[in-house]
């Protein structure tokens, strides 16, 4: 159930984003997107570590919480609800969570090595090749948020550039292929469901609506 709950939150966040964008006729990231991102990512990290023992799955959901947290910090600052004390405790908690997540990632990769070292050379090569495809996809996913994070830090407010959606699309294809090949259906199918949302956001970038609704 943890995996399904995480998938519902993490992959469903883009449908929330899509719904808000459709209402406003432009690409919009509501604050709920970042809450769903953080909580869903924690669930999927635990699911990948303790149920699937998925090297790519744990790696995918370890470090991204830092970026989700920074976006929330900027949003809370804009709204005037973030005191220095709250900021310190929140960001400290995030760093502790990421440190623990790194331990889970390390343990998962070590477990994968021990589990597959008895396989033939050809099977090991194929297995690690597909893991490499997933890591490449995750690198692109990380790059999209690093770009988004850098722009957000420069502008001092949460901003999502157009490149975010293009990188998301390419990264999804790579990660989905890796997860499906390893029969990690929750990850693979979940990623597949987000691709339509990426395409729709790319459409809004090139063909924005003339409606002028306030952002949520």
Straight-line distance from the first to the last Cα atom of the chain, in angstroms, rounded to the nearest whole number: 31
- Exposure b/e, 48-60, CB count within 10 A at least 16 = b: bbeebebbbbbbb
Please tell me the predicted confidence (pLDDT) of residue 84.
87
Among the listed residues 48, 195, 39, the one whose alpha carbon sits nearest the alpha carbon of residue 131: 48
Q: How far apart are CA 42 and CA 98, in angstroms?
A: 10
pLDDT at 209: 64
HSE-up of 198 (CA within 13 Å, CB side)? 19
Domains of the chain by residue range: 2-206
- Give the pLDDT of residue 41: 94
Question: Which pair of tokens denotes residue 30?
Answer: 């509501």
Q: Provide the pLDDT for residue 149.
A: 80
Q: What is the pLDDT along the chain (216 residues), one digit of tens a residue?
A: 889 999 999 999 989 988 998 888 877 889 999 999 999 999 999 999 999 999 999 999 988 888 888 889 989 988 888 888 888 999 899 999 999 999 999 999 999 999 999 999 999 999 999 999 999 999 998 898 788 888 888 888 777 788 888 999 999 999 999 999 999 999 999 999 999 888 988 888 888 765 544 333
């Amino acid at each position: 159930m943890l995996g399904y709950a995480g998938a519902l939150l993490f992959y469903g966040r883009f449908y929330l984003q899509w719904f808000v964008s459709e209402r406003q006729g432009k690409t919009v990231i509501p604050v709920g997107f970042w809450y769903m991102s953080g909580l869903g990512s924690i669930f999927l990290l635990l699911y990948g570590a303790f149920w699937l023992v998925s090297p790519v799955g744990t790696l995918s959901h370890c470090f991204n919480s830092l970026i989700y947290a920074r976006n929330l910090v900027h949003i809370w600052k804009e709204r005037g609800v973030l005191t220095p004390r709250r900021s310190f405790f929140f960001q400290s908690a995030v760093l502790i969570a990421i440190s623990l997540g790194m331990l889970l990632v390390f343990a998962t990769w070590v477990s994968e090595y021990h589990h597959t070292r008895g396989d033939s050379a050809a099977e090991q090569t194929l297995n690690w090749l597909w893991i490499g495809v997933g890591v490449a996809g995750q690198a692109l996913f990380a790059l999209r948020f690093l770009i988004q994070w850098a722009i957000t830090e420069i502008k001092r407010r949460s901003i999502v550039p157009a490149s975010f959606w293009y990188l998301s699309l390419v990264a999804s294809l790579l990660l989905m292929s890796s997860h499906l090949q390893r029969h990690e259906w929750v990850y693979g199918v979940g990623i597949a469901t987000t691709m339509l949302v990426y395409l729709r956001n790319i459409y809004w970038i090139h063909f924005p609506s003339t409606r002028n609704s306030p952002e949520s």
